[in-house]
Structure 1
């Protein structure tokens, strides 16, 4: 929206870059949205909010120090992986003084990895998206778990597959609202409904179409896993909502030209993201690793690759 973009331009440059980095968590190059996203992290927990902030600063400063592309830095593209890396480690690791060192190092590494992966994936016209955050987080979790058995933190419950126990036809309206809001909130590792509502608001400020994609993805994150037989607790916690939300935003608003065709493709991609998460969860949960946003990334790459090979689907909005 024009007013938010005008306000974005009036914010001092260093702060604007940082806030845009937070906004890029939900694909928004907008400092106003970024402020709301960062506030949502704090709504989910003070430690998580602080970890996200430290990660944001660390990854952005690293990009400046390494003299990476100025335009990318100003667009916040070196901030969002740091934000997510910091928040992730604060969720899955014990809250000790060493945690903050891990967060700084992981966030710095995410900026370096974003540059490398972006250049590699440009050959296939694919975005790096949040793949640096996922890879860096896995490396740190595996390494720390291996050397410190007491480093486990209050991790999110596993998004496990069990017998069908949720009848979506009889769900009360309040449960629907809670599950949808939590599915959005899990983008930033929280089942806090307020945080989910804040994220939706932040995206709606930038784009109403983006907000519709969010709602559609959250809806898919409830209905499809219920049909698959996922346990009600995982669905109600929103653990199957955030990946279809992210992939629907990416396909239906960001990386393909907004149209009815891309909206339909986004819906199909959202369903595929849930199926992908179900498979990955069954493989990774026994190893003690969270799937994080890997279903979103894999689905995004597959769908964009297929779309790029089809004259019917392909009409890129962004490189």
Structure 2
């Protein structure tokens, strides 16, 4: 994730007593690797537009993870930029989507959000020698373990709630309606939401992060659609964003955050977006037999591989 200059961090921290709330809003934006306050605010507004339960658990998870980082004395620069809130945000959403709205879900969301902060610290330590960041791995690990284990506990498992997105198999013919729906839902499905208008609101938020960011997000969405269709993925799933959301994240991460803005780097990012689309299908098939969830693992693994290769590929240059 990006690192702020000392002066910028001091300005953020000088806004006490609302620094905690600002850091939490930035944490929502950091799901898309963007620390801008307006980006986080628009994305959070989109989540509330998706439904009060989604908005509430996203907010709860972000607030708890950020507060945990403060309590544990984590470096204030990272907290101010929202780096300790985004996994909690996704965990809160994943739990209410997977387990439903029950009292036990609130407890799990709090515990899971605390664990996200601890795992962020652990993974940051483990990955630092390789020049890699944790990305959304804390969310995937915490939410994956909780969701898979939930059916074993009667006070937690109340039966699978209605899914946010249908997994109905369909044909491979694609219509204009499928295309424009898929373009926007590829953005909203990053947050496990399948509503196109939520993706539109989030794209507006990404526009506040800069032209380069929103263009890479849009290009990643298009590449995800094209790659999924070329591979023969069911049209219904393409339209719901199931195959494209990881492509959006890879395009933003590799093309707009971690590498400089050159033609070579842009092509590298979009190639990664296409690769992660195929990986999404493979990991979905891998997790399905035991009730696991793909979440953002394709984005994580693709970004780790592509960024780990950069030091030995002279054509590409890291930013910063």
Q: Same fold (TM over 0.5)?
A: yes
Tell me the alpha carbon deviations over residues 174-223 of structure 1, each in whole angstroms, 9 at most, x when there is no partner: 43211111111101111111110111111111111111111111112211
Spell out the pairing of 1:1-319 with structure 2 (5 A cutoff). Answer: 12-148=18-154, 149-157=157-165, 165-168=171-174, 171-172=175-176, 174-313=177-316, 315-318=317-320
How many residue pairs align between the two structures? 306
SS in 2 for 1:206: coil
CA contact (8 A) 1:138 1:289 kept: yes
Give the root-mean-square deviation of aligned CA atoms: 1.9
1:145 touches 1:152 (CA, 8 Å); kept in 2? no
Q: What is the Cα deviation at residue 70 of structure 1?
A: 1.1
Q: 1:93 touches 1:155 (CA, 8 Å); kept in 2?
A: no
Structure 2, unpaired ranges of 5+: 1-7
Contact map agreement 1:159 1:240 (CA 8 A) in 2: no
Contact map agreement 2:178 2:236 (CA 8 A) in 1:
no
Distance apart, 1:83 and its partner CA? 0.5
Moved over 3 A (4+): 8-12, 155-160
Between 190-199 and 242-251, the greater mean CA deviation after superposition: 190-199
Taking structure 2 as the reference length, the TM-score comes to 0.91
Q: CA deviation at 1:259?
A: 1.3
